């Protein structure tokens, strides 16, 4: 009987207040998505093809590329459909599925970034212990743990959203489905959804940010102990590039999560634009920052192209 409280579909409005710019905004969105697809697919192909790259560092890069492909592909095609006015409608269960895959992929990618930061810490600060601790088998288990953690966090949200009555509310001011975006369409108290979302945000990506920052802080401390000025500059350049990409991944995402709960005065178009940024910009930049600037990847890419 409860299925009568679920609408057959939702209508995604796109970017509220910027409807006249939808076509223009679709151009950078489409270009960034194409670059993300090409870059991450090439990175994944190179690492999986070359057995010499089957080491923890490059296996984590392959996991990151796979997560980037899943994160952008779960959202951008529907976003482009909305911006191009092809189809704004999405069925209720398709919306739940999209929400689930977006958040699962985000949490899994956050865990992979944490694992990569730990990998770099071990390689730079504990090089003698690195081969014994981070084996290929351990790397695989970390990847499975990242996926398992994301599933454990997000499976309850399906039930939290399914239990809510929606009473015919269908218009969602967004380009894709998010947990709190769906919950706010319900005509019942959503306090449980708000507190569950806040708790999981603080305990998963929030905790990851703290641990990643600690890891890079320890790396920089070790780097400053090096006698060579060139080695310091090289390490600072690499860590700085990595940390900038990590900030671009976390800041828009955390802003989006907390704006749903506390940012009632924030214009909707700002919220939606930033929510689209974290599923587009990091997947486009990660292959460049992590892949092209890594010497073995660059050498194999040049060899393949030539």
Domain boundaries, the chain: 9-305
pLDDT above 70: residue 2:
no
- Alpha-carbon span 105 to 90, nearest angstrom: 20
- Alpha-carbon span 131 to 153, nearest angstrom: 31
pLDDT at residue 261 in the model: 65
Per the DSSP assignment, residues forming a β-bridge with 89 are 11
Q: Mean pLDDT, to the nearest integer, of 234-262?
A: 74
Say which range, 66-80, 243-257, 266-280, has the weakest mean pLDDT: 243-257
Q: What is the CATH number of domain 9-305?
A: 1.20.1070.10
pLDDT above 80: residue 235:
no
Reference 281, options 250, 255, 236; nearest CA is 250
> What percent of the chain has a predicted confidence (pLDDT) above 90?
34
Count how many residues are written for the chain: 306
Q: What pTM was estimated for this model as a whole?
A: 0.90
How many C-beta atoms lie closer than 10 Å to residue 243's C-beta? 15
**Helix or strand run (H / E) with residue 242:** helix 229-262
Token code pair at residue 101: 């895959």
Q: How far is CA 33 from CA 39, 95, 244, 298, in A?
A: 10, 21, 20, 22
pLDDT above 90: residue 19:
no
Which is more confidently placed, 272 or 5? 272
pLDDT at residue 114 in the model: 92
pLDDT at residue 79 in the model: 93
Which is more confidently placed, 137 or 289? 137
pLDDT digits (tens, 9 = 90+) for 166-216: 887 788 888 999 888 888 888 888 889 888 988 888 888 889 999 998 988
CA–chain centroid gap for 119, Å, is: 19
How many C-beta atoms lie closer than 10 Å to residue 158's C-beta? 15
> What percent of the chain has a predicted confidence (pLDDT) above 70?
92
Token code pair at residue 32: 């960034």
Say which range, 23-27, 52-56, 107-111, 139-143, has the weakest mean pLDDT: 52-56
Instruction: Please give the full DSSP string across 262-287, using - where no structure is assigned.
Output: H-TTS-HHHHHHHHHHTTTHHHHHHI
Of all residues in the chain, what percent are helix, strand and coil, respectively (each to 5)?
Answer: 75, 5, 20
How many C-beta atoms lie closer than 10 Å to residue 126's C-beta? 14
């Amino acid at each position: 009987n409860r299925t009568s409280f679920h609408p057959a579909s939702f209508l995604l409005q796109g970017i509220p207040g910027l409807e006249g710019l939808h076509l223009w905004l679709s151009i950078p969105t489409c270009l960034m998505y194409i670059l993300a697809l090409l870059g991450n697919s090439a990175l994944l192909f190179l690492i999986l093809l070359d057995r010499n790259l089957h080491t923890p560092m490059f296996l984590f890069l392959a996991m990151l590329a796979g997560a980037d492909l899943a994160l952008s592909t779960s959202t951008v095609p529907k976003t482009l459909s909305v911006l191009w006015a092809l189809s704004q409608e999405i069925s209720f269960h398709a919306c739940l599925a999209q929400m689930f895959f977006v958040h699962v992929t985000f949490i899994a990618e956050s865990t992979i970034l944490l694992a990569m930061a730990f990998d770099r810490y071990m390689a730079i600060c504990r090089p003698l212990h690195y081969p014994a601790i981070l084996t290929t088998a351990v790397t695989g288990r970390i990847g499975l743990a990242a996926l398992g953690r994301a599933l454990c966090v997000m499976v309850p949200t399906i039930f939290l959203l399914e239990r809510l009555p929606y009473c015919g509310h269908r218009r969602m001011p967004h380009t894709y489905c998010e947990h709190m975006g769906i919950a706010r369409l319900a005509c019942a108290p959503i306090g449980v959804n708000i507190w569950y979302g806040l708790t999981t945000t603080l305990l998963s990506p929030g905790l990851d940010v703290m641990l990643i920052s600690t890891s890079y802080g320890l790396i920089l401390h070790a780097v400053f102990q090096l006698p060579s000025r060139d080695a310091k500059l090289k390490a600072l350049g690499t860590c700085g590039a990595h940390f900038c990409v990590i900030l671009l991944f976390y800041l828009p995402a955390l802003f989006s999560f907390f704006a749903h709960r506390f940012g009632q005065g924030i214009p909707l178009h700002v919220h939606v634009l930033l929510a689209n940024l974290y599923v587009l910009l990091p997947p486009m930049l990660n292959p460049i920052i992590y892949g092209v600037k890594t010497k073995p990847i660059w050498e194999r890419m040049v060899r393949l192209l030539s």
